[in-house]
Amino acid sequence: MLCSMLYDISLACKNIPVYIIGAGGIVNTAHLPAYKIAGLNVQGIYDIDHTKAFGTAANFNLPNVFNSVEEMLAHAPSNAVFDLAVPGSETINLLNQLPVGATVLVQKPMGENYDEAKQILSLTREKKMLAGINFQLRYAPYILAAKELINKNLLGDLNDIEVNVNVYTPWHIWDFLQSAPRVEILYHSIHYIDLVRNLLGKPQSVYAKTTRHPAMPMLASVRSNIIMDYGDMVRANILTNHCHKYGIPKQQSYIKIEGSKGAVIINFGALINYPRGAADSFEYIILEEGREAGWQKMHIEGSWFPHAFIGSMHEMLQAVTGEKARPDNHVEDCIDTMACMEAAYQSSDGGGTPVP
């Protein structure tokens, strides 16, 4: 598959043992399917709900199910990678239980707010951990294809990034969100914030408004407008609406990247008719002097779910084996995504300029 070639996983990485804490939906639909595709060495799983853990282990032929974190730690060798697939509110507690020097991949977000993110950063520094955050969209196969065009300078200087999501998301399937003080940006648009920052760097400032919807009054917010400010010559906009209940034909979700010499439009189908999803598409155009430009399609194998989850874990494995000095998704990098998220909420709470 193309995704295997894109990630190019070494035998050394495939031999590193992976231990998973958490056996929820995301582990069963993304983490473990991705690791199976990549041929990674998952050695065991733990969940506070033992029934879930045993069921997941049976479905994916995992050799060990642990009754506690302590039992898992006693079994794990020093080069193990711990995959924490738990709600953000549980991250700090689990990091406190892991040993000094542990390698850990933390499910996004990096805590439930910027203060927690800073605590996580401080804790991983104190315990000399090799820690990364699972902001996996930046490793989706179609994003890697776009980055290849960017790295070859085929798109020129980037000047416009737009993410537009107009779908119906059944938020009720995640029970913990019903009482969460923050929903849309923290648990969804943060992926796009991270992607824009990964491509353009840290913005000067953030403007945002995140809103609730009368059809989902129990939730904090389900729609967002976010502008990431990179000065007068670059535009970066994120527009999301998760309440489009008017049928599939008008649902849409795309990422548009424009540069001085070319552009890419990615229609990503993971959110269409969720959780069933729809097909992705990748189109690009390159401007060449003396030649008539036209949009071309590129076939990309693999998608956001589950294939992007290979990329997040691969970064950690490469750091363990010494193939990389530090993972791309290291906490020292991802703290800036959390800072942008916090700035978005502050902007939303602060309100706009009153109209005279």
- How far is Cα 246 from Cα 161, in angstroms, rounded to an integer? 27
Decide yes or no: CATH 3.40.50.300 for domain 141-297.
Answer: no
- How far is Cα 47 from Cα 66, in angstroms, rounded to an integer? 8
Cα dihedral: 105, 137, 41, 100 (round 10): -10
All residue ranges of the chain with pLDDT < 50 are 1-5
CATH number of 2-135+307-327: 3.40.50.720
Residue 99 identity: P
The pLDDT of residue 174 is 85
The pLDDT of residue 5 is 44
Q: What is the pTM of this model?
A: 0.95
* 102-147 confidence digits (pLDDT tens): 999 999 999 999 999 999 999 999 999 999 999 999 999 999 999 9
User: For residue 88, which of 340, 338, 346 has the smallest C-alpha distance?
Assistant: 338
CB 349 within 8 A of CB 209: no
In this structure, what DSSP letter does residue 330 have?
Answer: B
Q: Where are the alpha helices (DSSP H) in the chain?
A: 2-7, 11-15, 25-26, 32-38, 50-60, 69-75, 91-97, 114-126, 141-151, 184, 190-200, 308-321, 331-350
Residue spans of the domains in the chain: they are 2-135+307-327, 141-297
The pLDDT of residue 293 is 84
* 236-263 confidence digits (pLDDT tens): 999 999 999 999 999 999 999 999 999 9
Phi then psi dihedrals of residue 169, to 5 deg: -105, 125
The pLDDT of residue 6 is 63
